[in-house]
């Protein structure tokens, strides 16, 4: 079953946030408003994307701290 337009646009909002694509976010935000998606629903999609995006940032920061605690890493 294909996704409805609202779902597609909210997924696109999330992808734009996750991909750091400013033009994409503007485009899909405007499209969401055009088809009647509430600001609350858009905000939820943005927050979900930010939450997903925070995991790799946290992991890379933890690894950097571990590497800094050592003199050399054997690959």
- CATH number assigned to the domain comprising residue 55: 1.20.1290.10
Q: For the chain, what is the domain count?
A: 1
Q: What is the mean pLDDT of residues 7-20?
A: 97
46: in domain? yes
73: in domain? no
- Identify the band that residue 51 occupies on the pLDDT scale cut at 50, 70 and 90: very high
75: in domain? no
3-state secondary structure 1-60: CCCCHHHHHHHHHHHHHHCCCHHHHHHHHHHHHHCCCCHHHHHHHHHHHHHHHHHHHHHH
pLDDT in tens, 20-33: 999 999 999 999 99
pTM of the model: 0.78
55: in domain? yes
- Structural domain including 9 reads 5-68
pLDDT at 70: 82
pLDDT at 75: 65
């Amino acid at each position: 079953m294909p996704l409805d337009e609202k779902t597609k646009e909210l997924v696109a909002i999330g992808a734009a946030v996750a991909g750091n694509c400013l033009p994409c976010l503007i485009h899909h935000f405007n499209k969401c408003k055009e088809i009647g998606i509430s600001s609350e629903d858009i905000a939820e999609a943005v927050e979900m994307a930010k939450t997903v995006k925070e995991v790799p940032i946290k992991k890379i920061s933890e690894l950097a701290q571990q590497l800094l605690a050592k003199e050399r890493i054997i690959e």
